[in-house]
Structure 1
Amino acid sequence: MNTELLLKTAMFVNFSREELETALMAMELRVRSYRKGANILSAGTMTNDLCIVADGSVSVESSDTRSERKVLSIIMKGQTFAAAYAMLPDEPLLVDYCANEDCSVLFLDMSRLADRNEEWAVKLRNNLLMVSLRNELMLSERSYHTASKSARGRIMAYLGTVALQTGKSEFDIPYDRQQMADHLNLERTALSKELSRMRAEGMIDYCKNHFVIFSGK
């Protein structure tokens, strides 16, 4: 287990190493590995576990009535998922969490936190609130990215958000083309055609998941 990684995560901000070790023992830390495509948590089930990506990445996916799957977001190394469900264990998951690539995930039983009043437990509850707020912002971002009726509007809303978050006009995104299309609620062919048009017009350039936005376009 990489304690240095955990101390840098949002869940354990301001924790000492001793507090971290106490928290992990109290919440019965488990570590599991998954191959790409494997289900980690499934829609319709319930969980007490808060999860942290220790290695690799995890996709948040939904299925419609025709069993067509869409990737809603990608959770990267060091990020947390299923926090709200872990704190509301009677609420069934509305999405699937799947291994986006070979990955390792830490599971922490949040039911063990309920009656704890030690300083580390208070810190953890406060950090959990901040994690939940960030997750709400991520959902709001996707609504913003898909608000435009045009493919170009959605692409620029998303790429513009990444540019603001990174502070750069050149960056990598965590999605492949199909995942990007799913995130923007577009058909893959429509996304690819519009990206090609935008590159031809000098608005952007890209190679796989690496993008450049040209200013003034």
Structure 2
Amino acid sequence: MEQKKILSRCPLFSGLTEAEMGAVLREMQVKEKDYEKGEILLFAGEVPRDFGIVLEGGIVILKEEFSGSTTLLSQGFPGEIFAEAFAASGEPSLVTVEAAKKTRILWISYGQMMRPEGGGRAKGRLVENMMHILAEKNLFLANRVSHLSRRTLREKVLSYLGEQAAKQGSREFDIPFDRQKLADYLAADRSALSAVLGKLQREGVLTFRKHHFILHTEDEAVHEMEKGDHR
């Protein structure tokens, strides 16, 4: 029962009834596998045929640098998908996936999922959902490249915050990152990011508290600076 609840929260199964989800999983002959903490699920350089969904526990996604150091790129929790882009493209994985704790994974063959025969409406919805997931991740990466291409950290911060304001249709918005995750996303040092945000706030360009931001117009920026001068 708990597994069905977790899968129902996974975007891959959006719009499917519990019965449809069960039928399509049986048709694709999915596999479950348990891993101990520290065990490798996917090695960098490996070409996966399957993608995974975390059922229990959690994973870490690691990037091994040429220097020999390892960078934590992201984490995965129950209900989240990983390795789908590599399974879809047939390209070698650029990352290593490791169990962060005792973990159970549901492995799904990308080839089985994309086979046209069988599954009916549920199979078609599953494929549609996967295309949406891949498109969203591509857009996320394209936006990140756009922000990282800016010359200075100040420009990167303003580029990212401007995108969030446009996406949410307001100059007052919340971002999905805490300070460390935002620093990681912008490939910046956390203390340097905090310094830039502090300076932008003193200049009246923005105000923020934790993950809540307000971007100011030029007139508002002048007013905010004047308020700061009188404090």
Give the alignment's TM-score, normalised by structure 1: 0.74
* Deviation readout 1:94-145 (Å, 9 max, x if unpaired): 1234568997654323343354612133332232222211111111011122
Q: Is the 8 A contact 1:146 1:184 kept in 2?
A: yes
Partners in 2 of 1:57 and 1:211 — Cα distance?
A: 28
What pairs with 1:5-154 in structure 2 (closer than 5 Å)?
5-25=6-26, 26-30=28-32, 32=34, 40-54=41-55, 60-72=61-73, 78-89=79-90, 91-97=91-97, 105-113=105-113, 115=115, 117-118=117-118, 119=120, 120-154=122-156
The verdict on how the C-alpha distance between 1:40 and 1:127 changes in structure 2, with shifts beyond 3 A counting, is same
SS of 2:174's equivalent? strand
Letter paired with 1:9: C
Aligned match of 1:185: 187
SS of equivalent residue, structure 2 residue 108 = strand
Deviations 1:177-217 (A, max 9, x none): 2x43332122344223212322333423233xx23234324
**Amino acid of the structure 2 residue aligned with 1:10:** P
Aligned residue for 1:194, secondary structure, equals: helix
CA pair 32-164 structure 1, distance change in 2 beyond 3 A: farther
Work out the CA distance in 2 between the residues paired with 1:171 and 1:43: 34
- Per the TM alignment, residue 44 of structure 1 is displaced from its structure 2 partner at its CA by 1.5
- Cα RMSD of the aligned pairs, angstroms, is 3.5
Greater length-normalized contact order (CA 8 Å, ≥ 6 residues apart): 1
Partner of 2:160: 158
Structure 2 partner of 1:173? 176
Report the CA distance between 1:21 and its aligned residue. Answer: 0.4
By how many angstroms is 1:4 displaced?
4.0
One-letter code of the match for 1:117?
A: E
Q: How many residues align?
A: 212
**Matched-pair contact (CA < 8 Å) for 1:70–1:182:** no
Which entry has the higher C-alpha Rg, 1 or 2?
2
Superposed displacement of residue 56, structure 1: 7.5
Q: 1:191-202 residue pairs with structure 2 within 5 A?
A: 191-202=193-204
In structure 2, list runs of 5 or more residues that go unmatched: 222-231
1:138-175, Cα deviation, whole Å (9 max, x unpaired): 11011122121111111122233334445563425335
Paired residue secondary structure (1:213):
strand
Supply the distance in 2 between the matched residues of 1:108 and 1:139 (Cα, whole angstroms): 24
Per-residue deviation, residues 44-84 of structure 1 (Å, max 9, x unmatched): 22322222345787554433211344455566664432112
Q: Distance in 2 between matches of 1:212 and 1:116?
A: 46
In structure 2, what is the equivalent of residue 206 of structure 1?
209
**SS across alignment from 1:205:** strand
Structure 2 CA distance for aligned equivalents of residues 149 and 98 of structure 1: 34
CA distance in 2, matches of 1:129, 1:30: 23
Identity %: 23
1:4-26 deviation line (CA, Å, top 9, x unaligned): 44334331233222220022233
1:62 counterpart letter in structure 2: K
